[in-house]
Structure 1
Amino acid sequence: MSWAIATFFGAGHLRPASGTWASAIAVVLAVLAYEAGFALLVPLGAAVATVAGFWAVPHYLEGLLGDDPPEIVIDEVAGQWLALSFTVIPLWWHDVPNLLLGAWPGWLMPFLLFRIFDIWKPWVIGRADQRGDPAGVMLDDLWAGLFAGIVSVVLAGVYHGAVAPWLG
């Protein structure tokens, strides 16, 4: 069970860039949930993936060499769904009908920003990653998801408040 959760049912074995693959799969699942009318499954999924990851990662790491093998991607899934929650919830609240094509920045920006923060690892993201323990495996991606979500909302506010009015 810890293998299935930690690798997100084997997605962590996709190469190259297993974290990017897992993030992309998380985005696809979030968009599908939104389009099917279940937008609130995204933040719920983030919470479930977080709790499951904090349980599974220590169990998966028992007896393995290294503190964050690339096949562990539940942290990317949790962080990506956290980032997406910042845009999906307001879009759902405002009854935006089409996330895939109509409101595509609502999934593209959190995806790109999450990957940037996860790879770059500035500030507390890097500190969490340097912990070298199972909690650090999860925490760096949760911080990256939080920052990606916040920046996505700020960029949306700038666009809708300052840029869009000028475009007519």
Structure 2
Amino acid sequence: MQPEYRARVSMKNPVHFCALGFGSGLIPLMPGTFGSLAAIPLILLLAPLGDSIFLTATLVSCIVGIWFCGRTASDMGVHDHGSIVWDEVAGMLLTFMFVPITVWTVLLGFVLFRIFDILKPWPIGPVDKTVHGGLGIMLDDILAGLMSFACLQGGIYWFPVLLK
């Protein structure tokens, strides 16, 4: 992150801390990938608590993420700076809703989410280009998470070996 932007955020500010993916967004190379990786411990923590708690945490992460990301972008003076990765955390949570957690499902879900997040196929790309503010930062990753969720569910259905 450029020094002028880094000076505008503080890891002591809980909104910035979350928006920067618990600090993972500060890694200079591939912050989105590291933000996605930072979600995995959270997924592993929430999954054993049951689907209703996982779903609630996922919805809360999406809703408060709009504010986290919008506020941090405003504080930085830049829309959707690469270091803002809470959207990746929320997208990863969406990917793993109602998914039995195995090494294979985590690996496949991570790869699917990164593909959708990076390539931004329709409708992700147009949304990313036209919706602004905190909602815009979050919405493309919410869509990537939902598309990854659908593909992961299909993968589990067609390849139940993923559950072993």
TM-score range normalised by the length of the shorter chain: 0.7 to 0.9
Per-residue deviation, 1:47: 1.5
Change (3 A) 1:63 1:107: closer
Contact 1:86 1:150 (8 Å CA) reproduced: no
Aligned residue in 2 for 1:94: none
Aligned residue in 2 for 1:139: 139
Per-residue deviation, 1:64: 3.7
Change (3 A) 1:116 1:38: same
Is 1:46–2:58 an aligned residue pair?
Answer: yes
Contact 2:124 2:140 (8 Å CA) reproduced: yes
Is 1:155–2:155 an aligned residue pair?
Answer: yes
Aligned residue in 2 for 1:118: 117
Aligned residue in 2 for 1:6: 19
Change (3 A) 1:23 1:63: closer
For normalisation by structure 1, the TM-score amounts to 0.78
What is the Cα-based RMSD across aligned positions, in Å?
1.9
Q: What letter is aligned with 1:46?
A: T
Q: What letter is aligned with 2:127?
A: A
Per-residue deviation, 1:145: 0.2
Change (3 A) 1:124 1:72: same
Q: What letter is aligned with 2:145?
A: G
For normalisation by structure 2, the TM-score amounts to 0.80
The number of aligned residues is 146
Aligned residue in 2 for 1:72: 84
Runs of at least 5 residues in structure 2 that lack an aligned partner in the other structure: 1-13
Contact 1:23 1:80 (8 Å CA) reproduced: yes
Aligned residue in 1 for 2:41: 28
Q: What letter is aligned with 1:142?
A: I
Change (3 A) 1:113 1:86: farther
User: Aligned partners of 1:58, 1:29: CA distance in 2, in Å?
Assistant: 22
For residue 72 of structure 1, give the secondary structure of its aligned residue in structure 2.
Answer: coil
The sequence identity of aligned pairs, in percent, is: 32
Query: What does the per-residue CA deviation read over 1:15-63, in whole Å, with 9 as the maximum and x for residues that have no partner?
Result: 31111111111113212443xx324443333212111111122221225
Per-residue deviation, 1:125: 0.7
Contact 1:6 1:60 (8 Å CA) reproduced: yes
Per-residue deviation, 1:147: 0.2
Structure 1 outlier segments of 4+, above 3 Å: 39-42, 63-66
